[in-house]
Amino acid sequence: MIYRAAIFDLDGVIADTARLHLIAWKQLAEGLNLPWTADTEERLKGLERMASLEVILGEKSSNYTEEAKIALAARKNSRYQELIRSLSPADLLPGAGELLAWLNSQHIPVGLASASKNAPAVLEALGISRCFSVIADPEKSAPKPAPGIFLAAAKGLGIDPEFCIAFEDAPAGVSAIKSANGMTAVGIGNPDSLKDADYTLDSLEQFVPYDFFLSVLAESGIRQNMNIDKRPNEKID
């Protein structure tokens, strides 16, 4: 397959923002005297904001009106926004910065498909906003495992889904990619929980983009102008 674009999930692929989401949710739960059980953290993985709140409220959910729930989610989000201000390029997960730099250097379009409404601020804090030509709006697509956000990213990039390769750490995200009209899924994390992915890696550090994009670079006739003989962890002049 000749890939023409790369699409990334954010949390768990590019940066560990789950750590900051958990701090903010835990503070909310403690403030409401709600239990924080051993599996709460696992159950929150990859869920969008209001679904996460339902996990936190658990059986107490019916005690809160919709307005009260929106206010609680806003309270958690304010705390999360304070926390993401502390992010810096040092918080990029292994291989993320190098891969993005390589894709940009080869003029391969890069998109983001994150459920987070805070994604633009997170990218800014990580110093990688300019690496992305498209950030799909999570408010305009049904949540993962629906494929909408990946299809929107591909559309924004102007590349058919079958020519896009996408990176995800959550099983729901891998399912979303696999139902996105022929898109290829690279799972980042545990192969047992990401078994629907086409490839599974421990981190982006193991991904060798040269192998996946070489043919598109050669095919587009721009090979002479680019250092495509160099691997991404080598210096690109």
Residues that bind ligand B16 (CB under 6 A): 9-12, 18, 21, 44, 46-49, 52, 77, 114-118, 170
Using DSSP bridges, classify how beta strands 184-188 and 199-201 pair: parallel, antiparallel or unpaired: parallel
Element (H, E) at 41: helix 40-44
Q: Which residue has the CB atom at the shortest distance from Mg ion?
A: 12
Q: How far is the CB of 35 from ligand B16 (least distance, A)?
A: 19
**Contacts of Mg ion in 158-187 (CB under 5 A):** 169-170
**CB nearer Mg ion, residue 12 or residue 216:** 12
Decide: 113 and 161 in contact? Cβ < 8 Å: no
Decide: 111 and 5 in contact? Cβ < 8 Å: yes
Q: How far is the CB of 73 from ligand B16 (least distance, A)?
A: 8
**CB nearer ligand B16, residue 22 or residue 108:** 22
| 91 contacts Mg ion (rule: CB under 5 A) | no
Q: How far is the CB of 231 from ligand B16 (least distance, A)?
A: 27
**Contacts of Mg ion in 185-224 (CB under 5 A):** none
**Count of residues in the chain:** 237
* Region at 221 (left for phi over 0; alpha for psi -120 to 50; beta for the rest): left
**CB nearer ligand B16, residue 18 or residue 208:** 18
Beta strands in the chain (DSSP E): 5-8, 110-112, 134-135, 164-168, 184-188, 199-201
**CB nearer ligand B16, residue 55 or residue 226:** 55
* Tokens 């023409």 found at: 4
**Contacts of Mg ion in 2-21 (CB under 5 A):** 9, 11-12
* Residue 165 main-chain phi, psi, to 5 deg: -115, 130
Q: Which of 9, 16, 160, 169 is catalytic?
A: 9
Please say if 229 is a catalytic residue.
no
Question: Which among 195, 126, 198 is positioned nearest to 162, based on CA atoms?
Answer: 198
**DSSP helix/strand/coil, 92:** strand
Q: How far is the CB of 5 from Mg ion (least distance, A)?
A: 19
* CA-CA-CA-CA torsion sign (8, 12, 15, 21): positive
**CB nearer Mg ion, residue 7 or residue 228:** 7
Q: How far is the CB of 72 from ligand B16 (least distance, A)?
A: 12
Please give the structure tokens belonging to residue 229.
């003989």
Please say if 9 is a catalytic residue.
yes
What is the contact surface with Mg ion in residues (CB under 5 A)? 9, 11-12, 169-170
Which residues are catalytic, by number?
9, 11
